[in-house]
Structures are given as C-alpha cells and as structure tokens.
A and B are shown apart, each in its own frame.
Chain A
C-alpha cells in the first residue's frame, strides 16, 4: 500500500473511540521509528491506548510487531520519536524503570526458569514485586505472605495440580501459562503478550485465551497482545491495531478493521 495511507489511517482512527478521547492516553507513542541499518522496522508510528483496554496488534510477518513491543518494553531504544506511559516520557528509560511503572511483557519464545518448579518460578516474581531481591534473609511472617500470594497466582492461572512440577518438564502450553503468571506476579498495569498462543494445541489455546480475558476483566490489567490467529483476535480484542511494513495501516474496533478494504488487501486477503 502507498506509504501516505498509513499516517492518515492512524490519525483518522484516533477519534473513533469516544470513551478514550476524554482522558489522556495511558500509552502514547508519537512518531516513533526504529531503523536497523537501511531497514525501517517501525516507521513513524503514532499510537494511543487507553487504560483498561484489551488491544490486539496484528500484521503480516515482518510488519514490525515484535520491534514495536521492544520499543514499548525498553529492549530497544527508538531511533526517533517519543514513548509516553501514564504521563511520563519513558523513551530513554530503562527496562527496570518501565517494569516499576507497570509495563511487563512476555516473549515470543517462552522465557521461564526451566530447572525450577512452577511455585519457585512464580515466587521469584512475587519477591521481586515486593522489592525483596536484595534481602539475604526472610522472616517467617513474610515468607508466609509471599507463599500465600504465590498460591493465589497459581490459582488464578489454574496450575494448582502442577505447582511442584519442574517447569522445563511441563507441556509447552503450561510453560507459557507459567510465564504469564510470573509477569502477573510483579503487578503489571500494562501487560504485553507476544504471541501468547503460538505453538499451542486447541485446548491449550482455549485455556490461554480464557486466561487473558480473565486477567483483563477480573484483574483489571490493560493488555496489548500480538496474535496471528484471527479467530482469537476478533473474539477477544476490543480494538485492533494493524501494522504493515512498520507503519500503522489501521486502528479501530474489530468491525471497522474487518470492513477496512486496505486491511483486507494488505493482510487478511493474502494471509487467510
């Protein structure tokens, strides 16, 4: 598609959400670009997301979705533009600072602590959330409180029967659930999920989709997720942002996206 169409679509999409327009966006990216040599992986993207949203990012392979995530989470600095979260310019801020502000992510390739149990994986997250990492001892009451929170999180993600199993020996789908539970343990306000259902079977996918939905509705976490499975995207996302060749091609509620001819041409038409 022509390069001129993209910013037009992005700006045109802004007033489409009436409930969003009232307060300043939770996450705001202003003209953000990221180059790798001559390749523009993310090209002049302007993006806004309100608190409490459940938003999907879609786009063909190489559209810049993971780079987009890396710019939000702080793995990469942008070549140009600004990233603003909850009123603070975090463009040059460290990953640790962003996590402290509540931006937590998972990865396309599962990142867990493979030799430890489900319980121990999540416990590290809970201890981190409480700022205990540097403590060389732990008192009895604090240990009980930490363990109770770990059990609670295990309950939320439905892994009670596998709590003592070593994560590296679990099925792929369960490992991804553990990863989400660890991310959840540090108390995210914005959870970034990079292809949460990649490589999963049907029942595993169902479990994950249900989990994401519950995190959003019950835990009040804003969720931004990259997903290839269009059934899932149109099933759960409140809004969808379409990336193509590093640019925002369209942005809006699912009905609008599925009706958008440019999206159909660039993406849905050839991919599905």
Chain B
C-alpha cells in the first residue's frame, strides 16, 4: 500500500486540473488530450507491455472509434453517450474480428501484421470519400449536451474534461481489475514464457486474442473522446505515425508499469505542445528526448519508481 499516497495525489491533481493548469500556461483541452491519450496507450499497453505483443497499428482502432462517434453524431443521432458507445463498439469489434490474424504471430511479425491491418483501415477511410470526408477528415458534427432526465449538462471545455476524467477513471478501473485477475496473470505469463504456458495446457493464442480485442475496445473508447474533443477527426488518427507515437509514449513512461503510459503521454504531449510553438522541427527534439530517456532509464521514466519500491 506504499502506492496509495502517490495515486491519491495523482487523482487530486487530475480533479483540480482546470484550476491549476492555466496558472502554468496550459489549457483545459490539453488536460483532456493527455487523459484521452492515456486511455489509448494504457489500453494498448495491455497488449504491448503485459501480453508482450508488439502491436504497432493501434491507431487504427483509435481512429475507427473517432469515425464511429463522429458519423453517429453526423448521420444517426445527436447523442454524445450513443456516439461514444457506437464508436467503441465499432473499433473494438474490428480488433476482435482481426484478432485471429494476429494472435499466432510473434515478435516482428506481430508488429508487421498489426501495422498492415492499421494501414488497411487508413486507406478505407481515405477512399470512402462521401461518408468519411476522405483526406479532409470528418467535420460537421459536435458533441451534444448530456441529459439526465430534466437535468442537462452542456459540454463546454471544462465539463467535457470532467467527462473525460470520468471515462479515464472507468477505463483505469476496468484495466486494473483485468490485470489483477487470472486473465491478466495469464497475459503476463504468456509474455514471460509462452512455451511454459503451453505445457501447462494453456493455448496462448486465445489469450493474445482476448488481450488484442480488449485493447482495441479501450483504444477505440479513447478515440471517440478524441473526436468529441475537437469535434473533428481525420485519417491521421488512424495512421501508423500515430501508432508509433503511442508506442513511443509507452516506452517513455515505462511499459511494465500500469501508470507508466500516462507519464509517457504527459511528457510527449506537453513536449509536443511546447516545442511546436517554438520550432517546426519539434519532432527532432521529441526524438532526442526519446533517445535520452531510453539511454538513461531503460525501463521508462516510471521504471525509476519501480526499482525503488522493489529494493525497499
């Protein structure tokens, strides 16, 4: 229970974020963006860090979630909760259906097939002009106020941040429960030694599939919120470059720790936001930060804390 104090502090900081973030030059949408990317990367990390599958095409499910939500609002019903639900199901089902193509692959082949599938969705979205807006992205929808009976919550930036924080809390609770469960233990065991698990009578592919599918649902969930944050989504949200950014964020923060990806996202998004206001070559500096962190903290920034608790 040594972890209880920092986690409580984190939650207080997140709840109070709309008050303190502007004081240090940030803005509320930046907080929303960090939490959305945190949901996506923590979901991806179920596959990457905990099951040991190099999923390098995760943005596809993020983007599908976004398009699912945006198109629901634009063409079907003006309801924010339904948009989130539809987007999550669309992205999650895509991952579930394609899981069997992925589940037997290992190492670099896992990475290649996930990238290929991701790019497939990217080109479908780009080509399917009349519905998706093609290269220009999908616009012309907006998040709608949420109705609780007679009570209506308008989704201004601050209220939307709290909706995102609520979703983040929900996703964290789900992922934490999963990782404490026998299923989560099985994932980690497969990462550690697939052959050993086979000789305990476990068929690893099934569990890799489950991990990939669940990660798909969670990433898509994040993708729906991303579309609602900007009231816009574009093919870039499915592109392998974003998939790569997700992986970089996870490695920065620490892929073996539960909250590691959140730390990585904060570093990445804040650096991106700050550096891109200074120079158009901001990617160079992101790369430099990445190299330094990998050299200095091979287990990610969060790895320092892990080490400390292990020795203590």
Binding site for B on A (CB under 8 A): 73, 95-100, 104-105, 107, 111-116, 120, 123-125, 127-128, 132-138, 182, 186
Contacts and interface: CB of A to CB of B under 8 A. Distances in A.
B129 interface: no
Interface of B: 177-178, 180-186, 188-189, 192-193, 195-203, 206-207, 210, 256
A266 B254 CA distance: 56
Given A113-B189, A133-B186, A133-B202, A138 B181 contact: yes
Contacts of B181: 135-138
Contacts of A123: 185
Given A95-B201, A135-B181, 16 more contacts: A95-B199, A96-B198, A96-B201, A97-B201, A100-B201, A115-B256, A116-B189, A123-B185, A124-B189, A124-B197, A125-B200, A134-B182, A135-B182, A136-B178, A136-B183, A137-B181
Contact of B182 (A95, A98, A99, A127): A127
20 contacts: A95-B201, A96-B198, A96-B201, A96-B203, A99-B199, A99-B201, A113-B188, A113-B196, A114-B192, A114-B193, A120-B188, A124-B185, A124-B186, A124-B200, A134-B182, A135-B181, A135-B182, A137-B177, A138-B181, A182-B200
Please indicate which of the listed interface residues B182, B184, B193, B200 has the most CB atoms of chain A within 10 Å of its own CB: B182
A138 B182 contact: yes
A47 B173 CA distance: 54
Q: Which of A97, A112, A127, A132 neighbours the largest number of chain B CB atoms within 10 Å of its CB? A: A127
A123 B184 CA distance: 12
The 6 closest A-B pairs by CB, nearest first: A99-B201, A113-B192, A132-B182, A127-B182, A111-B196, A96-B201
Contact of B207 (A104, A127, A133): A133
Given A113-B193, A134-B210, A136-B178, A73 B199 contact: yes
Given A123-B185, A136-B183, A137-B177, A186 B192 contact: no
Nearest to B186: A133
A136 B104 CA distance: 21
A180 B168 CA distance: 41
Nearest to A113: B192
Given A114-B193, A124-B189, A136-B177, A186 B182 contact: no
Contacts of A115: 192, 256
Contacts of B192: 113-116
A106 to B, nearest CB: 8
A99 B195 CA distance: 13
A125 B193 CA distance: 13
A125 B186 CA distance: 9
A52 B197 CA distance: 26
Given A99-B201, A104-B199, A113-B193, A127 B210 contact: no
A126 to B, nearest CB: 9
A132 B188 CA distance: 15
B204 to A, nearest CB: 10
Contacts of A113: 188-189, 192-193, 196
A182 B185 contact: no
Report which residue of A114, A124, A128, A138 has the largest number of chain B beta carbons within 10 angstroms of its beta carbon.
Answer: A124
A97 B199 CA distance: 10
A238 B206 CA distance: 41
A211 to B, nearest CB: 19
B201 A128 contact: yes
- Which one of A98, A107, A128, A132 has the highest number of Cβ atoms from chain B below 10 Å of its Cβ? A128
B92 to A, nearest CB: 14
A111 B200 CA distance: 11
A111 B188 contact: no
A96 B178 CA distance: 24
Contacts of B200: 99, 104, 124-125, 128, 182, 186
